[in-house]
């Protein structure tokens, strides 16, 4: 059945309510949504860690991700790839090696960016005990500055894509066709998230992070160096955003552009809030939920409404559960 | 909540105080003047502002950049109006709104829908009839955004308002009758002073007959509106509403405990701020006489925020100065037009590091208390202040 809602008696339909396509493609929409969701979750961890420790929304995190996107692009160019319509498909082993190299470079670039932002913009403010509003405006300034630096340098047209692999159908889940790109993204994202979770929950550094999140004063008295902990959180968040940047560029059809980080950043933040900000497992849950809801919404209302679904979901969740689905838990985790 | 709050921090005495502060010496000089002198200077400055486009002084004028000076000044003034509205929300009530451009868009679209022949409503209203409607609709949209979200804490609220601004933009992109990038042409404008040389009057953008061009007409109109707004907002500031805003900016919990109905006053701030934004959008629609979905993006919201923060949040003259600077400088030096937002981004960071209060900071003083200049408030109930026993303290 195909129902059309139109505010006027116009022939043109700008919003549909098409349940048939949602039902028909339900499984493929869901698996694809989970793929996007895994990427959102990786970025969301950066927001969540920093918020857990500093109670600060790191607005510039979307630009940390952007730096990762550009870094992997340039390293692939340096390795001799040129933008082309067709993918290179150099065989599994070589492709994986290239991708791992690009991912490492993106991780280093993003991690460094995050640490530099912390050093240059946030640390002096902390030393001065600035009010939260000042932090937020600084974060916006940092985000704007990095984004616009890329705009001045690379212009407003997206860079042509470098494709290392084409999606090849591997197997089916119910009626959904799973391709190698999706498998790669989900597997790498899950591995990275397990690593991040173990880092926070099972290492000495992680214990320091949780201690500072819970009570910075006492943590300092117990010999935890808060400055070091804060650096670590920015670094870990940045590294994961760099990894997400590589995975995202493989997934999306369009090229890389200076404004490409903004929307992803907002969505990843929405994912973090959805699951409960300050909570690593919440970031995963929120990311997957957001990715799937977006895809379902797109099928229901039409492609143009995808982002509206994300924003409306964000506002709705904040209205009813300001602390998210799983609640804030970084500070109250098991020691 | 910052981590390094273990010891009471001394305010940084370093670079911070070595930097020249524009506002303070000027303010000291200004406050030392007598009333008549102040009035004279104010009027002289106003007259200067009014005739500035007629003087068109070389060096200050933007004609060399190919932009008509009066149009640039009109845009400066319009942005000043926006900054005033945003200042109510950010500077007075302390609510960070990152989606303010949404209200601006709503105001422009209401005028376009009601007056343009391209609109499906086919009402063809006059501009003046649209303006109050635009303001009411934007105020309502402010309430609509505020009702569910104003219970949120500062930074969450910032994200939600950002989402709202984006939703408005995406609706303008997606909803068929709002015509996306095609937009609405021939939006209404006030028809005043038709003659042979000006077949559509002063306000039509077809009027390029110097010296009284359309830009000048709009500029003068907006100056009048800004004066009205200044008067209205300063009355608000000194009323119960303004005191409530400042209380919740300074400490929301304390204000709540003292019986200030914080939610109600936050809603007021949102609605009033939104209405001013809507007015500005209506002015934009009338002046450009074309509305489409471009220029309502997040970066524009950030630009408005930069104006408020740069000028000095909470200070009406400061935010007007900030708005003037962010519009005038890129228009005067078109070389940096591409670098505009990069410079704003860096400027925001530098400002927050060295002068978070802005160029002309707001004065922090007790509201409504007409104390002598050197009076101090003190909280020891059993002490005499200035020889007045505690029982007569209210008389102060």
pLDDT digits (tens, 9 = 90+) for B107-142: 999 999 999 988 888 888 899 999 999 999 999 999
- Whether residues B170 and A311 touch (CB distance < 8 A) is answered with yes
Q: What is the mean pLDDT of residues A222-238?
A: 94
| Span of A104-108, A270-274, A294-298, A324-328 with lowest mean pLDDT | A324-328
- Whether residues B154 and A132 touch (CB distance < 8 A) is answered with yes
Distance, in angstroms, between A58 CA and closest chain B CA?
10
Closest CA to A236 of A102, A114, A328: A114
Is B375 inside a domain boundary? no
pLDDT: is B395 or B129 the higher one? B129
**Which token pair is A76?**
């692939």
Report the residue count for chain A. 335
Name the 3-class secondary structure at A173: strand
Is B51 inside a domain boundary? no
Question: Which residue segment(s) compose the domain that B170 sits in?
Answer: 69-189+212-296
Is B384 inside a domain boundary? no
**Which token pair is B227?**
């004066």
Closest CA to A283 of A218, A205, A158, A190: A190
Is B23 inside a domain boundary? no
- Tell me: pLDDT of B47 over 80: yes
Name the 3-class secondary structure at B97: coil
**Which token pair is B157?**
């609220």
Mean residue pLDDT of chain B comes to: 83
Is B226 inside a domain boundary? yes
pLDDT confidence band for A178 (50 / 70 / 90): confident
Is B59 inside a domain boundary? no
pLDDT: is B319 or A12 the higher one? B319
**A176-179 and A169-173 beta bridge pairing:** antiparallel
One-letter-per-residue 3-state SS of A268-308 = HHHHHHHHCCCCHHHHHHHHHHHHHHHHHHHHHHCHHHHHH
pTM: 0.84
Backbone angles phi, psi at A2, to 5 degrees: -135, 105
**Domain ranges within chain A, ordered by starting residue:** 37-160+173-257
Q: What is the mean pLDDT of residues A187-206?
A: 93
Is B110 inside a domain boundary? yes
- Whether residues B6 and A217 touch (CB distance < 8 A) is answered with yes
| Span of A172-181, A321-330, B179-188 with lowest mean pLDDT | A321-330
pLDDT score at B371: 46
pLDDT score at B181: 84
pLDDT confidence band for A304 (50 / 70 / 90): confident
Cis bond before residue B202 (omega within 30° of 0): no
Angle at A220 between CA A216 and CA A226, to 5 degrees: 70
Q: Structural domain tally of chain B?
A: 1
Distance, in angstroms, between B118 CA and closest chain A CA?
14
- Whether residues A127 and B120 touch (CB distance < 8 A) is answered with no
Is B11 inside a domain boundary? no
Distance from C-alpha of B2 to C-alpha of A136, rounded to nearest angstrom: 13
pLDDT score at A262: 87
pLDDT confidence band for B396 (50 / 70 / 90): very low
Which residue of B96, B176, B302 is in closest CB contact with A133?
Answer: B96
Q: Which of residues 146-185 of B touch A (CB under 8 A)?
A: 148-149, 151-156, 158-160, 162-164, 166-167, 170-171, 173-177
- Whether residues A140 and B155 touch (CB distance < 8 A) is answered with no
Distance from C-alpha of A202 to C-alpha of A222, rounded to nearest angstrom: 18
% of chain B beyond a pLDDT of 70: 85
Distance from C-alpha of A195 to C-alpha of A172, rounded to nearest angstrom: 28
Tell me which chain A residues have a C-beta less than 8 angstroms from the C-beta of B151. 322
Distance from C-alpha of B128 to C-alpha of B15, rounded to nearest angstrom: 51
| Span of A209-218, B94-103, B250-259, B328-337 with lowest mean pLDDT | B328-337
């Amino acid at each position: 059945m195909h129902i059309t809602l139109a505010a006027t008696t116009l022939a043109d339909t700008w919003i549909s309510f098409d349940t048939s396509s949602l039902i028909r493609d339900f499984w493929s929409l869901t698996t694809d949504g989970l793929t996007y969701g895994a990427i959102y979750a990786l970025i969301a961890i950066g927001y969540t860690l920093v918020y857990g420790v500093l109670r600060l929304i790191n607005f510039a995190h979307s630009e940390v991700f952007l730096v990762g996107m550009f870094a992997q692009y340039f390293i692939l160019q340096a390795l001799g790839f040129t933008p082309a319509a067709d993918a290179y498909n150099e065989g599994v082993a070589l492709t994986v090696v290239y991708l791992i190299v690009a991912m490492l470079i993106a991780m280093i670039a993003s991690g460094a960016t995050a640490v530099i932002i912390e050093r240059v913009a946030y640390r002096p403010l902390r030393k001065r005990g600035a009010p939260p509003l000042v932090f937020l405006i600084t974060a916006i300034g940092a985000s704007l500055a990095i984004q616009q630096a890329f705009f001045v340098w690379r212009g407003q047209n997206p860079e042509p894509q470098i494709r290392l692999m084409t999606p090849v159908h591997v197997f089916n889940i119910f009626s959904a066709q799973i391709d190698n790109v999706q498998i790669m993204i989900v597997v790498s994202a899950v591995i990275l998230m397990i690593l991040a979770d173990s880092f926070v929950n099972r290492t000495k550094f992680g214990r320091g992070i949780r201690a500072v999140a819970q009570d910075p004063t006492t943590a300092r008295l117990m010999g935890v160096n808060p400055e070091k902990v804060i650096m670590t959180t920015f670094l870990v968040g940045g590294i994961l955003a760099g990894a997400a940047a590589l995975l995202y560029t493989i997934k999306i059809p369009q090229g890389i552009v200076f404004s490409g980080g903004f929307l992803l950043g907002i969505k990843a933040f929405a994912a973090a809030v959805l699951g409960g900000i300050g909570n690593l497992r919440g970031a995963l849950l929120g990311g997957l939920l957001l990715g799937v809801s977006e895809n379902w919404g797109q099928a229901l209302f039409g492609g143009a409404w995808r982002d509206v679904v994300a924003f409306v979901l964000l506002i709705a969740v904040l209205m009813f559960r300001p602390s998210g689905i799983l609640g804030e838990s970084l500070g109250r985790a098991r020691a | 909540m910052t981590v390094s709050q273990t010891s009471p921090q001394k305010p940084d005495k370093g670079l911070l105080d070595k930097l020249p502060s524009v506002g303070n010496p000027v303010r000291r000089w200004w406050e030392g003047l007598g009333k008549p002198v102040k009035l004279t200077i104010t009027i002289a400055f106003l007259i200067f502002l009014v005739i500035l486009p007629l003087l068109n002084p070389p060096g200050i004028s933007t004609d060399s950049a190919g932009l008509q000076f009066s149009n640039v000044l009109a845009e400066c003034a319009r942005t000043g109006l926006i900054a005033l509205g945003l200042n109510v929300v950010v500077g007075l009530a302390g609510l960070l709104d990152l989606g303010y451009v949404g209200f601006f868009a709503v105001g422009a679209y209401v005028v376009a829908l009601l007056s343009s022949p391209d609109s499906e409503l086919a009402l063809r209203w006059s501009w003046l009839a649209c303006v109050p409607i635009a303001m009411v609709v934007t105020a309502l949209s402010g309430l609509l955004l505020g009702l569910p979200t104003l219970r949120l804490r500062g930074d969450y609220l910032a994200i939600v308002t950002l989402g709202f601004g984006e939703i408005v933009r995406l609706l303008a992109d997606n909803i068929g009758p709002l015509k996306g990038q095609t937009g609405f042409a021939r939006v209404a404008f006030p028809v005043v002073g038709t003659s042979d040389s000006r077949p559509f009057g002063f306000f039509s953008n077809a009027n390029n007959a110097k010296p009284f061009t359309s830009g000048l007409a709009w500029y003068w109109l907006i100056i009048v509106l800004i004066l009205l707004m200044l008067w209205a907002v300063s009355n608000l500031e000194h009323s119960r509403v303004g005191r409530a805003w400042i209380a919740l900016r300074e400490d929301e919990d304390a204000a709540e405990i003292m019986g200030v109905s914080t939610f109600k006053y936050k809603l007021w701030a949102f609605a009033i701020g939104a209405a001013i934004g809507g007015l500005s959008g209506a002015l934009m629609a009338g002046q450009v006489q074309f509305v489409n979905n471009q220029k309502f993006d997040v970066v524009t919201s950030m630009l408005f925020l930069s104006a408020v923060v740069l000028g000095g949040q909470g200070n009406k003259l400061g935010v007007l100065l900030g708005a003037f600077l962010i519009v005038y400088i890129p228009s005067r030096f078109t070389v940096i037009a591409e670098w505009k937002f990069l410079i704003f981004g860096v400027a925001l960071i530098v400002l927050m590091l060295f002068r978070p209060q802005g160029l002309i900071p707001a004065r922090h003083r007790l509201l409504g208390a007409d104390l002598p200049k050197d009076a101090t408030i003190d909280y020891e109930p059993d002490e005499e202040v200035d020889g007045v026993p505690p029982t007569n303290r209210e008389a102060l």
